Amino acid sequence: MLSAAQSALHTVTNQLNKLTMPSIPQTYKGAVVEEKGGKFVIKDIDYKKPEEGKIVIKVLASGVCHSDSIVVEQLMPTGLPRIPGHEIIGRVVEVPSSEKRWKVGQLVGSGWHGGHCFSCRQCDKGDYVTCDQANINGVVTDGGHAEYATLRREAVLAIPDGIEPAKAAPLLCAGVTVYNSIRNMDVRPGDVVAVQGIGGLGHLAIQVANKMGCKTVALSGSDSKKALATELGAHVYIDSSKEDPAEALQKLGGAKVIACTAPSGELMASVIGGLAVNGQLVILGVGGKVEIPMMPMIQKRLSVRGWPSGTPADELDTIEFAMTTGVDTRIETYPLDKVQDAYDSMMNNKARFRSVIVFDE
């Protein structure tokens, strides 16, 4: 509980911050998906004051993710119109009078996890990211591809000083997904960790595995990305067009973890034979089905598992890990009116390596 003095100080701080923040407009621009398979439309959105338990931010950066296609293609019934975007960095511009933690002027972020119910079995266990009634920013509720965004207070993290908002934004989904998955696979320095796919997720996964001290192996279907993979931190590069990736991994002693970032069930199936005893294949990219040979699964005690993103605490861990170790988010930036170009570049695998919508402070 806050003391009377602390509460008064908090109120004064909010009032002072409001004096230094730009005035809030009655309407703002947002990139809206209005129909299944449709293009983004830039529209005027009515500004709404935050309800209790929510805050409003002025968006500074919003990462474009493959999962934005959930809304565009209606891969799940999100409701339309909808503003996508779940890699959101911005500055707090308004909070309800009851808000005690978040202050006007704070630099904050919010990722895929957009809030939880606090009352289901998973929430009781503290596993908020798998909440039965979990909110998803930019999917269930409007997200960050707009000048302003409303966020649930429990889904927000404070962004540390010293990191560029556009660089931080992709860490709230792509970054936390690869970091959280690898660190929860019980890997130790020297273990072989292979990364299948060198794209938006893969370019981060290679760096994370390297910075954790693992013997990092990059798997790709051609020789064209060898120099890039080496630059990112791969100790070994396997070109699956020239050699069997599973056999090549076994020559290294087998992989403790294979992180599959490219959405191809066929590719995932081709590498599972490269796992060491007790090895784990972690699926991080969504796409199709995976056919798995059962005998080696039993004989070598292998496992296949997926991993979702993470909570605000996980997102903060990811950002701090990246800042401490030098993990670099490689981005291309776009203004809001070019959001369609950013989305198309990402969907056509042309982005190098994450597309981010940026806004003026």
- Looking at residue 163, its pLDDT comes to 98
Report pLDDT digits (tens) over 318-346: 999 999 999 999 999 999 999 999 999 99
Q: Token digits for 206?
A: 């290679």
- Looking at residue 286, its pLDDT comes to 81
Report pLDDT digits (tens) over 15-73: 555 555 668 999 999 999 999 999 999 999 999 999 999 999 999 999 999 999 999 99
- Looking at residue 11, its pLDDT comes to 60
Q: In the CATH scheme, what is the code of domain 175-306?
A: 3.40.50.720
- Looking at residue 199, its pLDDT comes to 94
- Written as one letter, the residue type at 284 is L
- Looking at residue 340, its pLDDT comes to 99
10 — pLDDT class (breaks 50, 70, 90)? low
Phi, psi of 220 (to 5 degrees): -145, 165
> Helix (H, G, I), strand (E, B), or coil: what is residue 13?
helix
- Looking at residue 361, its pLDDT comes to 87
Q: At residue 166, does pLDDT exceed 90?
A: yes
Q: What is the domain partition of the chain in residue ranges?
A: 4-171+312-321+329-358, 175-306
- Looking at residue 15, its pLDDT comes to 58
- Written as one letter, the residue type at 355 is S
Looking at CATH, the fold of the domain delimited by 4-171+312-321+329-358 is given as Quinone Oxidoreductase; Chain A, domain 1 (3.90.180)
Sorted by sequence, the CB contacts under 8 Å of residue 120 that are 6+ apart come out as 131, 132, 133
- Kindly give the pairing relationship between strand 54-64 and strand 88-94: antiparallel
Q: How far apart are CA 300 and CA 343, in angstroms?
A: 41
- Measure the N-to-C terminal CA separation of the chain; round to a whole number of Å: 34
Question: pTM (2 decimals)?
Answer: 0.93
> Helix (H, G, I), strand (E, B), or coil: what is residue 259?
strand
Q: Token digits for 339?
A: 């959001």
Report pLDDT digits (tens) over 188-245: 999 999 999 999 999 999 999 999 999 999 999 999 999 999 999 999 999 999 999 9
- Looking at residue 13, its pLDDT comes to 58
For range 288-299, the mean pLDDT: 89
Q: How far apart are CA 175 and CA 157, in angstroms?
A: 15
**77-80: long-range contacts (C-beta < 8 A, 24 or more apart)?**
78/139, 78/140, 80/33, 80/34, 80/35, 80/36
* Neighbouring C-beta atoms of residue 69, cutoff 10 Å: 15
